[in-house]
Amino acid sequence: MLTHLSIRNIVLIEALDLEFSRGLGVLTGETGAGKSILLDALGLVLGDRADSALVRAGAEKAAVTATFDFGSIPAAIAEALGDADLELEPGEPLIVRRQLRADGGSKAFVNDQAAGVALLRAIGPALVEVH
């Protein structure tokens, strides 16, 4: 379950921290309120293609961090992490971070260990459903 989303220097957002509690999470708002920006930021930690245009004007880099907590680790996530030589202990949160540079570079981290975007794409569907 997504418990925390931290966004830094993405499009119009300088800094935003969102906490989520158990149950259904819904983003609503007027046209132009920023829902798409939040979804684009979340997409970065789920392995979407990085676009330097997402970096806020005047900033050198942007970052998105998402924290997930599980009662038990989903098998698909445990398998993908194992294939990448990463482990997640029962009860330990999964922290996925993605950094973008204004010059187009991108880095991904899973629990503070460097990870490939392919890993984010592999675990993303088991982390969040967007409708």
Mean pLDDT, the chain, whole residue set: 91
Helix, strand and coil percent figures for the chain, each rounded to 5:
25, 30, 45
**Neighbour-count burial for 1-19, b at 16+ CB within 10 Å, e otherwise:** ebeebbbbbbbebeeeebe
Report the chain's C-alpha Rg in angstroms: 14
Q: What is the pLDDT of residues 9-49, one digit of tens each?
A: 999 999 999 998 887 778 888 887 788 999 999 999 999 99
Q: What is the mean pLDDT of residues 90-106?
A: 93
State what percent of residues in the chain have pLDDT above 90. Answer: 66
Residue 131: predicted pLDDT: 75
